[in-house]
A and B are shown apart, each in its own frame.
Chain A
Amino acid sequence: MADQEERVPVMQQVLDNHFLLLFLGITIPTVIYVLWGVMEVANIAVAR
């Protein structure tokens, strides 16, 4: 019973892991905004 009371919820563990948050906060916009956007522009055919 005592163990159950002391167990930290998963979401709180995520929010308390500052470097995991840093990883997510860098990776998500880098992939969804920067890389996806740059790939779209890089795939535009060059005019001849």
Chain B
Amino acid sequence: MATTYRICPRSGLQFDTAAEKLMRWNAVAGVLALLLGGIMALGVILTRWPAVHLLPADQFYLALTSHGVNMLLFWIIFFEMAVLYFASSTLLHCRLATPKIAWAGFWLMAIGAVMTNVAIFQGESSVMFTSYVPMQAKPHFYLGLILFAVGALIGCFVFLGTLVVAKAEKTYEGSIPLVTFGALTAAIIAIFTIASGAVILIPTLLWSLGYIREIDTIMYRIVWWAMGHSSQQINVSAHVAVWYAVAAIVFGAKPMSEKVSRSAFFLYILFLQLASAHHLLSDPGVGSEWKVVNTSYFMYFAVLASMIHGMTVPGAIEQAQRAKGYNKGLFEWLRKAPWGNPAFSSMFLSLVGFGFLGGISGVMMGTEQLNLLIHNTIYVPGHFHATVVIGTTLAFMGLTYFLVPVLFRREVLFPGFAKLQPYLFGLSMYAVALVMMGAGTLGVSRRHWDMAFAGAGMAYEWPGAAYLMMGLTGIAGVVAIIGGGGWILQIVFSLLFGKRLDEGETRSTPIPLTLPPQTGAHAAHVGTPGTMVLALVFLVSFILYYFVNWKYLSSLWGMA
């Protein structure tokens, strides 16, 4: 099918018009899911704030279910579909493979998301994101998730098909660009994730319809987490690809070493999904060998990959800044970075928060013995608000500031607020993650509606610090929701009322892609001492926190 290509006059990027429309619709659908999930977040956070305790139990679990599903699946995966189409057709300068099938995938995702939300708001499917059996939701809760998953699977195959088209039509030579390689990593993990979801959700749907008598609870948890956790690993790959993209867009930065960065993505492909096992470290039925091999030996390869990306992205920025003359001392390159540009500030806050808060806590949680300290406590949401919200959502928000004029051809309204928004949202989420992890270390449960257990026969006396931490969670959470809500309003207003920008030239044939030579051992060496210092600070923090937790564990389990 013939298509046309638009050359964006602001970025020079080339958009296949069919792919461009799909990117816009997927991004908008994602933001709608984010809006709904954000409203539900307010209900959740104001209920977990002990002094407020807003919602009754049934409404709290309904809000928690909707918050989890909309944020962890619908917002993220819709946006990732936009990223996949961008990273394939736009970055490879080629047409999108089978746009009609891609639209079928989009509508399946949209129908599935609406269906699952309808089931949740009807009130009889408050099974939370994990939907552990034997809790049973209505059949259309599971059916909606299955339709959404099938739609996303179609999107992944359209992405792979577009890579084949680009190669066949020779729109690039050699290897695909690094950002596209990161998107490929996300797509591969997505295919494993979605297939696992289908394997467990189809029998669960049949069980809720009465065709299957029971689902084994441990078996369910193993297969469900292959979807539940791996879906968050799609995010990791996608937001790391976004970090590289923003570094290239804002600074013209080239990766320090393409080979090293690609090898790190390769480690993700091989090992990142295995981290799913850390949800089962306290489960009976699976042995220590399975737990340790998955979460320690192999997961550490994925951790190594994240540390490589965490060093090479700021290292690439440092090299680009030093090439521009910001050479004074260790950190002039960082001080003179465009901190008022929300695309950069979002990306950098995402990178630092993901590494220091999400990464370090993730390794601690993935250690079988240490996991006992915090298993099923609110430490776990603290960790994944650092990875998914600070890491992924903040990076996607930053990219959107770039996409509004480039993809949607609108001027971003309220530029003053745009400068502040990443700090308002990002730093308050730093606080949320930290105090949640603090409360979890004191044992506050992950999901319980009432931490005080009011009226329970065997009440538990929490230390005052636990209530303080949960109160701070509430305050910081409300600030974060204001920051996130402000972003949604800003983007929606910009799309509706922002000044229309020039579309640029439209062509019937694409301009072939010319890739710069890959940087490697032969590239001119520019030192990155500032990044090395930051990496050392990270390593020292990592080691200290890890061993503090061993000390903490030893004080819980006296050996005398």
Interface residues of A (CB under 8 A from B): 11-12, 14-16, 18-19, 21-22, 24-26, 28-30, 32-34, 36-38, 40-42, 44
Contacts and interface: CB of A to CB of B under 8 A. Distances in A.
24 contacts: A11-B263, A15-B266, A16-B175, A18-B184, A21-B184, A21-B269, A25-B191, A26-B191, A26-B192, A26-B195, A29-B230, A32-B293, A32-B294, A32-B298, A33-B226, A33-B273, A33-B276, A34-B222, A34-B226, A37-B280, A41-B219, A41-B285, A41-B286, A44-B285
B196 A37 contact: no
B106 interface: no
Contacts of B285: 40-41, 44
Contacts of B222: 33-34, 37-38, 41
A36 B286 CA distance: 9
A40 B269 contact: no
Interface of B: 160, 163, 174-176, 181, 184-185, 188-189, 191-192, 195-196, 216, 218-219, 222-223, 226, 230, 259, 262-263, 266, 269-271, 273-274, 276-277, 280, 285-287, 290, 293-294, 298
A16 B521 CA distance: 19
Nearest to B189: A25
Contact of B277 (A21, A25, A33): A33
A40 B273 contact: no
A41 B66 CA distance: 31
Contacts of A24: 269-270
A17 to B, nearest CB: 11
A20 B12 CA distance: 33
Contacts of A44: 285
A22 to B, nearest CB: 5
Q: Which of A12, A25, A28, A33 has the most CB of B within 10 A?
A: A33
A30 B266 contact: no
A22 B159 CA distance: 12
B331 to A, nearest CB: 34
B539 to A, nearest CB: 27
B227 to A, nearest CB: 10
Q: Which of B191, B218, B263 has the most CB of A within 10 A?
A: B218
Q: Interface on chain A toward B: helix, strand, loop, or mixed SS? A: helix
A21 B188 contact: yes
Contacts of B218: 41
A36 B175 contact: no
Contacts of A37: 222, 277, 280, 286, 290
B290 A25 contact: no
Contacts of B184: 18, 21
B272 to A, nearest CB: 8
Contacts of B263: 11, 15
B20 to A, nearest CB: 23
A30 B192 CA distance: 8
A36 B219 contact: no
A36 B287 CA distance: 10
A26 to B, nearest CB: 5
Contacts of A41: 216, 218-219, 222, 285-286
B216 A25 contact: no
Given A21-B266, A25-B185, A33-B274, 9 more contacts: A11-B259, A16-B176, A24-B269, A25-B189, A26-B195, A37-B277, A37-B280, A41-B222, A41-B286
Contact of B273 (A15, A18, A29, A38): A29
A24 to B, nearest CB: 6
A18 B192 contact: no
Nearest to A21: B269
Contacts of B219: 38, 41-42
A25 B286 CA distance: 23
Nearest to B273: A29
Given A21-B269, A28-B271, A36 B192 contact: no
A25 B270 contact: yes
A29 B286 contact: no
Contacts of A30: 192
A38 to B, nearest CB: 6
Contacts of B286: 37, 40-41
A25 B188 contact: yes
Contact of B192 (A15, A29, A38, A42): A29
Contact of B290 (A16, A19, A36): A36
Contacts of A25: 185, 188-189, 191-192, 269-270, 273
B262 A15 contact: yes
